Structure 1
Amino acid sequence: MDYMDRLNFDGSCDPNPGGRMGFGWVITWKTKRSPTEGSKEKRKSPTNTNNVAEYTALKEGILNYLKLKGKGPLQVCGDSKLVINQMSGKWKINNKKLADIHGQINEIIKKNDLKIKYKWVPRNQNADADRLAMPAGKQQAKIREVKPADRKVIADTNTASVSPRLRVKINELNTNPSPGFKEFARLKVGGRDSFSSKRIEELEKLAGKDATKLVKKEFSSDLKNQASALRWMLRGLAADLAVQKVKVDAEISKKREKKMRKR
């Protein structure tokens, strides 16, 4: 809605729960004023969660909007269905921590007589806020912004032997200039497919010399990660994204193993 200012927000907690939280927001003004970006972090705490981070990001974004003399009406956009549906009154709140932040936000809105409309948006339409929400220590898990047209794709996901749902997810990532950690983490095959059982030698032959050279450079002597990256490329994921996907999966696996050792 171009007649309204717009606030996009996103939050993250790594690891979830209990990790460091990051909050990001982007204000797009209805005037010719340049968009305003902002971010904050909070150190590790047992009460930190992704949902708390999402709510806090919204609160910080609204406070920043008011500080910058925003008067409303304001279109609030986020990729958290929980926050959007609870703030708009469609869903009940059963968590005390979230209810407290929810109440604080509504008090701020009421005090400033701010008119707000809430809208859920898919993650690929919330990329800038997602980028800002990543804690500084996790920036290495983000890739540099790349123009989708410049990406190297060795297989067409529209004709590759993948499920329709996975095809949609891959296309979303391929057209996103700066996908976040969460997008990679949520990219799943959903079981085994025609590429899952192929050995590294066959994958290298199918992917070609350039792709093989890239994965050997990125993962050195780690054949498992090399094979995983090649499989994602053959499913249609762009080469740079396939490498990043494997790195994110390796980081998640490392955290999971660390938790298991502590038990």
Structure 2
Amino acid sequence: MNVKLLVKYRTPKGVDAFFESHYLSPEHALKIAEDLESLQRAKELQFIDEHETTWTVKELQNLIAEIETEPHDIKVYFDGGYDLHSKEAGLGCLVYYSQNGSTFRIRKNALIEEIESNNEAEYAALHLAIKELKELGVQYMPVHFLGDSKVVIHQLSGEWPCLEETLSNWADRIEKELNQLGITPKYETISRKDNRKADHLASQALKHIDINSTKEVN
């Protein structure tokens, strides 16, 4: 979650002005608010998030304390592979997150049928990752999604049109579930080399090797 800082500022001569920041992390927004309060010029301070929810300083401080105990700083890598002969798709994803001062990694794959193309397999892999986020209890958080599928990344980012009905249905489904969870997605295209761990999980799924693990990492 990111927030905007809304400030009612008053000069020594009693002239009021209202200011609004760009979106900031809650931690950075609070630091700026604390600095303004030290000047004794900020008469009103308020924060508003991407979902138009407003927060006071105390409420945001409490939220940050709660966030530390919940999964946050989340990165998701995903990849899908399609076997034209068997009509099966291998899906792979890795979810990295911080919680209580430690960092964890989830490795998950799946084998599914009734997939028509590699692009659809890529969408299905991203959807598998979102199911993992839901199982993890992630809500109202920014999540960084990384994959080597330009089609999926650019379509979900709104940069490319989604003209195929099958892919459009996947995109609608993913966006609906992200909205229900209050997840703000950031999409990034990476090279196949940088996505090799997710690719390996997808390849293992096509070989009928099931992977489902959670591990603390450095």
TM-score bracket, shorter-length normalisation? 0.5 to 0.7
For 1:100, the aligned partner's letter is: N
Q: Which amino acid aligns with 2:121?
A: A
Identity %: 28
For 1:97, which of 156, 166, 170 is the aligned residue?
A: 166
Aligned positions of 1:140-159 closer than 5 A: none
**C-alpha RMSD of the superposition:** 2.0
2:82 corresponds to: 13
Partner of 1:128: 197
**Higher relative contact order (CA closer than 8 Å, sequence separation 6+):** 2
Task: Name the counterpart of 2:138.
Answer: 70
Deviations 1:43-79 (A, max 9, x none): 3x4x521001000110110111121112321000000
Q: Name the CA distance, whole Å, in 1 between partners of 2:143 and 2:202.
A: 21
Whether the aligned pair in 2 keeps the contact of 1:41 and 1:135 (CA below 8 Å) is: no
Matches within 5 A, 1:176-191: none
Structure 1 regions of 5+ residues with no counterpart? 141-263
The alignment partner of 2:93 has SS state of strand
In the TM superposition, what is the alpha-carbon distance from 1:94 to its structure 2 partner?
A: 1.0
- Native 8 Å contact 1:12 1:134 kept in 2: yes
Cα distance, 1:134 vs structure 2: 1.6
Instruction: Quote how far apart the aligned CAs of 1:15 are.
Output: 2.0
Give, in whole Å, the separation in 1 of the partners of 2:201 and 2:160: 27
Structure 2: any 5+ residue segments left out of the alignment? 1-71, 210-218
Amino acid in the other structure paired with 2:137: K
Tell me the distance in 2 between the aligned counterparts of 1:60 and 1:10: 10
The offset of 1:91, in angstroms, is: 0.3
**What per-residue deviation string (whole Å, max 9, x for no partner) do you get for residues 21-52 of structure 1?**
01110001134232001111113x4x521001
Instruction: Measure, in 2, the Cα distance between the counterparts of 1:103 and 1:14.
Output: 25
Q: Is the 2:109–2:205 Cα contact (8 Å) retained in structure 1?
A: no
Partner residue, 1:80: 149
State TM-score, norm by structure 2: 0.58
Aligned-partner Cα distance in 2 for 1:137–1:8: 18
2:106 to 36, 48, 54: 36
> Contact 1:55 / 1:102 at 8 angstroms: preserved in 2?
yes
TM-score by length of 1: 0.48
Is the CA contact 2:98–2:104 (under 8 Å) kept in the aligned structure 1? Answer: no
1:213-241 CA deviation, whole Å, 9 max, x = no partner? xxxxxxxxxxxxxxxxxxxxxxxxxxxxx
In 2, Cα distance between equivalents of 1:7 and 1:137: 21
Match of 1:4 in 2: 73
Letter in 1 for 2:103: R
- Cα displacement string for residues 185-233 of structure 1 (whole angstroms, at most 9, x for unaligned residues): xxxxxxxxxxxxxxxxxxxxxxxxxxxxxxxxxxxxxxxxxxxxxxxxx
Q: Kindly indicate whether the alpha-carbon contact (under 8 Å) linking 2:94 and 2:198 is maintained by their aligned counterparts in 1.
A: yes
Describe the superposition over 1:64-108 as per-residue Cα deviations: whole angstroms up to 9, x where unpaired: 112111232100000000000001100000100000010000000
